[in-house]
Amino acid sequence: MIRPALFILALGLAGCGDAPRDDTPTRAQISDSTLPPMKSFATPRPAAPIQSNANIAADFLDLHFQLESGRALPVFTRFETPITVRITGSPPPSLSSDLRRLLGRLNREAGINISQVSGGTTANITIQAVSRADIRRTLPQAACFVVPNVTSLEEFRRERRRPKTNWSLLRNRSTLAIFLPYDASPQEVRDCLHEELAQAIGPLNDLYRLPDSVFNDDNVHTVLTGFDMLILRASYAPELQNGMNREQVAARLPSILARMNPRGGAIPARTIQPTPRGWTDAVQTALGPGADPSSRRAAANTAARIAQTQGWQDHRRAFSHYMLGRMLQSQDPDLAQRHYTSAMHFLSRTPGTDLHRAYVTTQMAAYAISRGDGAAALRQIRPMLDVAARAENAALLSTLMLLQVEALELSGQHDKARAVRLDSLGWARYGFGSDWAVRAKMQEISALSPLTSTGG
């Protein structure tokens, strides 16, 4: 599928990005630097799924039997042999190590027999590193994407309108290609790798109702979660096979999930309201390409009204408020804060949304810093640092740390501020990439503080 570039991942303190809609499943070169060495995450710490097995079964079916566009898929598909992966193109230095870590997790956590082979060897999945310009020329709305039955971007361009690249006609998986940007930050490349490889071997859909999954177009989660690994493990259960229809898979899921996730059998099922297409379309208009600012705001307000009318009390309602807050921030920061407060209210009622709260915290802490209230900002930031680290989100972690620096400076803790600033830069290099991007983020956050304008 296609990985969208929604502004929730941009981690700026204003502005927005773009989001796609297509039937193609979707989600850096680092130069010599004068900054501290780039940091990377060590041991994965995925959280266990939080839902009942009954809810997970419903999610599994909607993930596997529908495309992101809403088109139904007639049959279940997966690989039926051990899966091989190769890298071609111009891979950035970080890609190989991130791929090794991901393949190790898929083997351990999902029980999938998947391994890397040398670049000149034929493989089931080809990961081709190309430029962002090449990706945008092919699919203007995509950050990265995966396609069946091709091995290169050139081949996809030739075969794009033909049946072989049509996901709805697929009956088994043997050859796929993933297209990632080599000129993005290491984190963006990794995020694309996680989502696109997961969709290459597993479900093709994204669902806004999922709070703890990369299979969600809000792009909150950037690496595969415990929920995602369970979905993938279930996808390769021996009870399932290519060609099964939705009813056949549904009949086998209860016993599969009872074996793989016994904890989920003791969790009561929750009634989850479906996401109306109108809300999804409004979000895509608000965040996607081609709309002017007034149209974006109108669409965001439409999404918020739909969420309220639906009576949602979950992360989707919170996302509507977060989206409005981001759009209003430069024009009416006080109103934006009220939207962030509303978002936090609904997130507090939804299990598994710690990471969502960390994103909102960046905006609320920035506001506190701009008002000179370092103590309030520190109270907000401190609980979220480990949340960002557990999620392996270096861009979010470094943003929180740089906000912490300004809050410490406001609180007179100058030595500690210098230490945190130095520590943040290694994470920022992974999260934002180039030196200029890291320095721009530092300057953006520094400019929030009254001390900057007064020369304090």
- Burial label, 150 (beta-carbon count in 10 A; 0-12, 13-18, 19+): buried
**Residue-wise pLDDT tens digits, 81-130:** 999 999 999 999 999 999 999 999 999 999 999 999 986 789 999 999 99
**pLDDT for residue 270 is more than 60:** yes
**pLDDT for residue 456 is more than 60:** no
Token couple for 201 = 């071997």
Percent of the chain scored above 90 by pLDDT?
Answer: 82
Q: How far apart are CA 196 and CA 446, in angstroms?
A: 35
pLDDT attached to residue 12: 57
Fold of the domain spanning 279-454: 1.25.40
Question: pLDDT band at 15, cuts 50/70/90?
Answer: very low
Q: How far apart are CA 424 and CA 419, in angstroms?
A: 9
Q: Which helix (H) or strand (E) holds 53?
A: helix 53-64
pLDDT attached to residue 35: 87
Most confident of 253-257, 280-284, 288-292: 253-257
pLDDT attached to residue 323: 94
Q: Which long-range contacts (CB under 8 A, 24 or more apart) does 372-378 make?
A: 372/410, 372/449, 372/450, 373/410, 374/406, 374/407, 374/408, 374/409, 374/410, 374/411, 375/407, 375/411, 377/403, 377/404, 377/406, 377/407, 377/410, 378/404, 378/407, 378/408, 378/411
pLDDT attached to residue 25: 52
Most confident of 289-298, 322-331, 371-380: 371-380
pTM above 0.85, yes or no: yes
Token couple for 272 = 């989850």
Question: pLDDT band at 18, cuts 50/70/90?
Answer: very low
pLDDT attached to residue 287: 86
Of 47, 11, 32, the closest CA to residue 398 belongs to: 11
Of 360, 370, 378, the closest CA to residue 444 belongs to: 370
The correct CATH number of 2-266 out of 3.40.390.10, 3.40.50.2300, 3.20.20.80, 3.40.50.300 is: 3.40.390.10
What residues contact residue 25 under an 8 Å CB cut-off, 6+ apart? 1, 2, 67, 68, 145, 146, 167, 196, 199, 200, 204
Q: Which residue would you say has higher pLDDT here, 377 or 11?
A: 377
pLDDT attached to residue 140: 87
Domain ranges of the chain: 2-266, 279-454
